[in-house]
Structure 1
Amino acid sequence: MAEAAAKEVAGAAAAAGDMILLISSDGQRFEVAQAVASMSRLVSNMVEDECTDNGVPLPNVPSAVLAKVLEYCSEHAAAAAAAGEEVEELKSFDAAFIEVDNATLFDLILAANYLNVPCLLALACQRAADLIRGKTVEEIRDEFNIANDFTPEEEAEIRKENAWAFQD
């Protein structure tokens, strides 16, 4: 249902000429419906300021990540156009969408923050929080491939200064 609505939104926008050109950091061009692009407050502000005639350069967002962000925005714009009929379907989409590897997850967080897409930022940050909830420091380091560059003395001092954070 939401895919059909997304195509309907994109089709109606294309027919009305309401398309926005987004240009990723690696130069790839994405022509998307204004309703989809405007889920980004950054892009929405540029549209309002009439700064989109030559496209919207997004120097901090590579094409692979921008494609993923646009997938999310398309689905959510379609759901908004459908007047919230498919809330459960959208929740299912979000749950499947955010099941990505850690590198992609953090790229999505950076892109959502830069593009100012609050709902995507909240979803991605919640996923990151879920990944660390209930884990020890060592398990978190393993999960995210973080090297422990503290000496044993430094680590002991940090644990002493922040004992509240290490209580069970």
Structure 2
Amino acid sequence: MIILRSFDGETFEVDEAVGLESQPIKHVIDDDYANIIIPLPNVTSKNLAKVIKCCKCRMEDSKAEDKNAKEDLKTLNVEFVKVDQSTLSNLMC
């Protein structure tokens, strides 16, 4: 398990495998920060919750082999980016 802390101080406990789905979080984990609180100073709790949800879905759907799961992932990706430009920019950091 890893603990992620958002810019506004909210913490999220997630499986390391979920965190590894996000490249920025993966780089921190790779730098041997597992088992401590990982600060994400540029990410609000709202955006971090959205990223974690997306990472969980990607991880689960990548294991699924049926066509419906693949379509669900495509739908998730489309919904994920349906936000204002500022939020989208923050999600990509």
Aligned partner of 1:109 in structure 2 is 89
Q: Deviations over 1:85-135 (max 9, x none)?
A: 3211211222333333x2xx42232232x2xxxxxxxxxxxxxxxxxxxxx
What displacement does 1:81 show?
2.5
Given the two structures, how large is their TM-score scaled by the length of structure 2? 0.81
- Using CA pairs under 8 Å that are at least 6 residues apart, name the structure with larger relative contact order, 1 or 2: 2
Given the two structures, how large is their TM-score scaled by the length of structure 1? 0.49
Q: Is the 8 A contact 1:39 1:77 kept in 2?
A: yes
Shift in alpha-carbon separation, 1:99–1:43, aligned structure 2, 3 A: closer
Shift in alpha-carbon separation, 1:47–1:78, aligned structure 2, 3 A: same
In structure 1, what residue type is equivalent to 2:29?
A: V
Aligned partner of 1:140 in structure 2 is none
Structure 1 residue 23 corresponds to structure 2 residue 5: yes
What displacement does 1:39 show?
1.3
Runs of 5+ consecutive residues of structure 2 not aligned to the other structure: none
Give matches, 1:8-87, under 5 Å: 19-82=1-64, 84-85=65-66, 86-87=69-70
Q: Is the 8 A contact 2:5 2:40 kept in 1?
A: yes
Question: Alignment partner of 1:50: what SS?
Answer: helix
The list of structure 1 runs, each at least 4 consecutive aligned residues, that deviate by more than 4 angstroms after superposition, is none
Higher alpha-carbon Rg: 1
Runs of 5+ consecutive residues of structure 1 not aligned to the other structure: 1-18, 115-168
More strand by share: 2
More helix by share: 1
Give the length in aligned residue pairs.
91
Shift in alpha-carbon separation, 1:97–1:46, aligned structure 2, 3 A: closer
Query: In angstroms, what is the RMSD of aligned CA positions?
Result: 1.8
In structure 1, what residue type is equivalent to 2:58?
A: H
